[in-house]
Amino acid sequence: MMDIFFDLSVRSVRLNFLRSLLASIGIVIGVVAISSMGMLGTNMQLSVKDQLSANVNTVMISSDVVKIRTTANVSTTSSGIDKSTLNDIESSAGQNQVIPIHRTSTQFTIGSTDGRGSIYGLDPNDIPKFLTVDQGSLTKGGSDVLVGATIASNFNLNVGSRIKIGPSNTANRPVVRVAGILTARGIASDGVNADTAIIVPDLWYTDHYGDKDVYDQVNVIVQNVDTISDVESAIDKKVNRNTQIVRISDASSRLTSITATLGTITTFIMAIGGISLVVAAVSIFNVMMMSVKERVQEIGILLSIGTEKGEVRRMFLYEAIILGLIGAIVGGICSFVIGYSVVNAMLGNTTYFFRPESLIYIPYGMVIGVVVCIISGMYPAWMASNMDPIDALRSE
Amino acid sequence: MSQEPLIRLTDVSKVYHLESGDFTALDHVSLDIQENEFVAIMGPSGSGKSTMMNHLGILDVPTAGALYIDGKDVAKLTALERTHMRRDMIGYIFQKFYLIPLLTAYENVEYPLILKYKKRDTTGKAAEMLTAVGIDEHMSAHRPNQLSGGQQQRVAIARALINEPRILLCDEPTGNLDRKTGFQIMDILINLHKHGKTVILVTHDPKIAEYAHRIIELEDGRIVGS
Ligand SMILES: Nc1ncnc2c1ncn2[C@@H]1O[C@H](COP(=O)(O)OP(=O)(O)OP(=O)(O)O)[C@@H](O)[C@H]1O
Ligand SMILES: [Mg+2]
């Protein structure tokens, strides 16, 4: 070994092996707490991010203008995007897919059970652009519809099932036939919550609800997600050139705020883990003070034969670093195992555990553990180096 | 003598401030020691012999008066300069040996070399020095607590000599040893003096003091005879 002071520290730690080991356990616990909390938080963030970012490439456009219309002597307020606005959107969206969407909510009856859900009216050609069919096939038009996974399982729907649309007290309700059942898509960040919806062809929709050429929402699916803000501003410039006609949004801002919130939570739970390191710091400090007190005469010898104060300081800091490294290495290994179990238990899924963003918390926790040890060792080391050599020599 | 002395104390006093009042351990001591002198310091217990040695060894600084070593005013040096002077100019041999318990005999002797050159010794000097004081290779690997008193003192002498100091301070080096071993240690010191070292020796034993050129007698912190 190059440095005799390091050698001395190693020997001192070995001489008091049990005591040193016990002090290191505090560091182990601290490192495990910080790393596994950090990993848990990151895994949470990553899984939420992946769930939400599925449709993050979609720009949602809805109307900002409320129109009052009179249909069959009933005046209804609605906000819609009209044909000319849609044309403007299409012309400013470039190569990207533009999907006009009709939406309303309705009651329906399946067999003898009544239910309630959304109805989306979509061009049958647009449906496969963002929805996938789990069973059956896509609708080709007419009164063939698709149903969301939640509705399908709640009402035991199969391909070929019939649904009566409209409140149960109305006569001559239209009947649609289930052509396919959609794959569950969870929280959709493109505004199309298909799981609890019935997707009907746009012609069927306008036949029954009117609203021809007036859409409730227009989605633009952007091919390259990095250009999303350019697309948004192009649409904004064209459509909202005089007055605010449509509201343009996408999921990325929501995603950012959710991940930021999760990040804050992660930091907070890591800080709680960090408290255990404070306890560890106290025990390291205690052990270092004991080591200094026990070795007063040795320190006197070192100083009296010409050891520099800095060298004495270094010797004790090495000791603190050794304790820290033992704690950090053991803690790092434990973090891996415990972190994996915690993530598995809390999230039920460890897909993201081995990602660098998640594993980085292990070295991160280890470094913090060692730094805490160095800080705890600073005062004892300083005290040792500032002893009066004669007083130190005289002590027994 | 016109030659500048290696060590000069002018009116040196050391006062310890205790709760029971001030205690004067050295009381206006003036003394010159030339290069290659062999000086014995004698006096009853508590007369200030060790206090004087600690001043000569630059472990302590006078409360009043001036101490010059090799022409330098010790009080004017920085702490680091004093440390380096201790390391390079002075070999200190203690009654209680004061070897570093965690190091082997060999490493104890190598240690001052490491302090000086900031690296492990590869010249074999430490091993040579141990042989010179009569510690064989097998013994060199022992820790201090595995050695006899005489062996420990030999190791301590080797450690004191390794950086070729000009001044050798020996505070009752034979005090913890039997008579026979004590004389063996004295033979080593006499031999070193013959090779040009300035040796300052504290002893209670008049037989041992006989080896010296000059005997300084201390009593209550004052020089009462030389
Ligand atoms: N650090 C100190 N604080 C207070 N008093 C001290 C201190 N060091 C020495 N003394 C006092 O100074 C006096 C001289 O002590 P010193 O150790 O020099 O005596 P000595 O001549 O070496 O004695 P001995 O032969 O027993 O070793 C003693 O009375 C001692 O109590
Ligand atoms: Mg003494």
Q: Is B1 a residue whose pLDDT tops 60?
A: no
In a domain, B32, yes or no: no
Closest CA to B97 of B206, B190, B174, B165: B174
Q: Measure the CA–CA gap between B66 and A39, rounded to whole angstroms.
A: 66
**Residues facing residue A348 across a β-bridge:** none
Q: Per the CB < 8 Å rule, is A306 touching B86?
A: yes
In a domain, B26, yes or no: no
Measured from the Cβ of residue A211, the count of other Cβ atoms closer than 10 Å reads 19
Measured from the Cβ of residue A386, the count of other Cβ atoms closer than 10 Å reads 13
Least confident range from A174-183, A261-270, A295-304, B47-56: namely A261-270
Q: What is the mean pLDDT of chain B?
A: 93
Is the separation of the CB atoms in A260 and A88 below 8 Å? no
B157-170 tens-digit pLDDT: 999 999 999 999 99
| CA-CA-CA-CA torsion sign (A82, A84, A88, A90) | positive
Per CB-CB distance under 8 Å, the chain B contacts of A11 are 102
Contacts of B205 (CB under 8 A, 6+ apart): B174, B182
Q: Would you kindly state where each structural domain of chain A is located, as residue ranges?
A: 2-52+256-394, 58-221
Of A11-15, A80-84, A184-188, which one has max mean pLDDT?
Answer: A11-15
pLDDT of amino acid B52 = 96
pLDDT of amino acid A68 = 60
Residue from B17, B47, B205, B222 to probe ligand 1 pocket by mutation (most atoms less than 8 Å from CB): B47
In a domain, B124, yes or no: yes
Task: Report residue A75's pLDDT band, with 50, 70 and 90 as the boundaries.
Answer: low
A305-324 tens-digit pLDDT: 999 999 999 999 999 999 99
Q: Measure the CA–CA gap between A335 and B224, rounded to whole angstroms.
A: 72
A103-112 tens-digit pLDDT: 988 899 988 8
Q: Which atom of ligand 1 is nearest to the CA of B49?
A: 21
Report the CATH number that the domain containing residue B84 is assigned in CATH: 3.40.50.300
Please give the share of chain B, as a percent, with pLDDT higher than 90.
88
Q: At what angle do helices A309-347 and B79-89 cross, to 10 degrees?
A: 110
B66-92 tens-digit pLDDT: 999 999 999 999 999 999 999 999 999
How far does the centroid of ligand 2 lie from the alpha carbon of residue B173, in Å? 11
Least confident range from A127-136, B14-23, B79-88, B163-172: namely A127-136
Q: Per the CB < 8 Å rule, is B111 touching A308?
A: no
pLDDT of amino acid A82 = 85
Overall average pLDDT of the A235-249 stretch: 83
In a domain, B194, yes or no: yes
| Residue A277, CB-side half-sphere exposure with 13 Å CA sphere | 27
**Whether ipTM exceeds 0.90:** yes
Q: Is A70 a residue whose pLDDT tops 80?
A: no
Q: Which atom of ligand 1 is nearest to the CA of B54?
A: 18
Nearest to A2 among B103, B116, B120 (CB): B120
Q: Is A227 a residue whose pLDDT tops 90?
A: no
pLDDT of amino acid A386 = 96
How many structural domains comprise chain B? 1
- What is the amino acid identity at position A305? I
Q: Measure the CA–CA gap between A60 and A256, rounded to whole angstroms.
A: 17
CB distance B49 to ligand 1 below 6 Å: yes
pLDDT of amino acid A252 = 75
Q: Is B74 left (phi over 0), alpha (psi -120 to 50) or beta?
A: alpha
Task: Report residue A1's pLDDT band, with 50, 70 and 90 as the boundaries.
Answer: very low
Burial of B35 (0-12, 13-18, 19+ CB in 10 A): middle
Q: Is B155 left (phi over 0), alpha (psi -120 to 50) or beta?
A: alpha
Q: Length of chain B in residues, anyone?
A: 226
CB distance B117 to ligand 1 below 6 Å: no
pLDDT of amino acid A124 = 92
Is the separation of the CB atoms in B38 and B201 below 8 Å? yes
From B87's Cα to the closest Cα of chain A, the distance in A is 4
Task: Report residue A74's pLDDT band, with 50, 70 and 90 as the boundaries.
Answer: low
Per-residue HEC secondary structure of A72-106 comes to CCEEEEEECEEHHHHHHHHHHCCCCEEEEEEEEEE
The structure tokens listed for B85 are: 């002077």
Q: Which atom of ligand 1 is nearest to the CA of B18?
A: 4
Q: Which helix (H) or strand (E) holds A121?
A: strand A113-122
Residue A312 DSSP SS3: helix
How far does the centroid of ligand 2 lie from the alpha carbon of residue A388, in Å? 17
Closest CA to A99 of A206, A212, A218, A191: A218
Is-above-0.80 flag for pTM? no
A156-178 tens-digit pLDDT: 999 999 999 988 888 888 999 99
Interchain contact A389–B (C-beta under 8 A): yes
Q: At what angle do helices B79-89 and B105-117 cross, to 10 degrees?
A: 130
Please give the share of chain B, as a percent, with pLDDT higher than 70.
99
Q: Got the DSSP string for A239-252?
A: HTSSS--EEEEEHH
Overall average pLDDT of the B104-127 stretch: 94
Residue with tokens 């709640």: A154
Overall average pLDDT of the A132-158 stretch: 89
The structure tokens listed for B11 are: 């009116």
- Full residue range of the structural domain in which residue B157 is found: 37-61+78-225
Residues surrounding ion ligand 2 at CB below 5 Å: B 50
Least confident range from A62-76, A142-156, B4-18: namely A62-76
In a domain, B100, yes or no: yes
pLDDT of amino acid A222 = 87
Least confident range from A144-148, A268-272, A297-301: namely A268-272
B130-179 tens-digit pLDDT: 999 999 999 999 999 999 999 999 999 999 999 999 999 999 999 888 98
In a domain, B135, yes or no: yes
Mutate to test the interface with B, among A305, A313, A316, A395 (most CBs of B within 10 A): A305
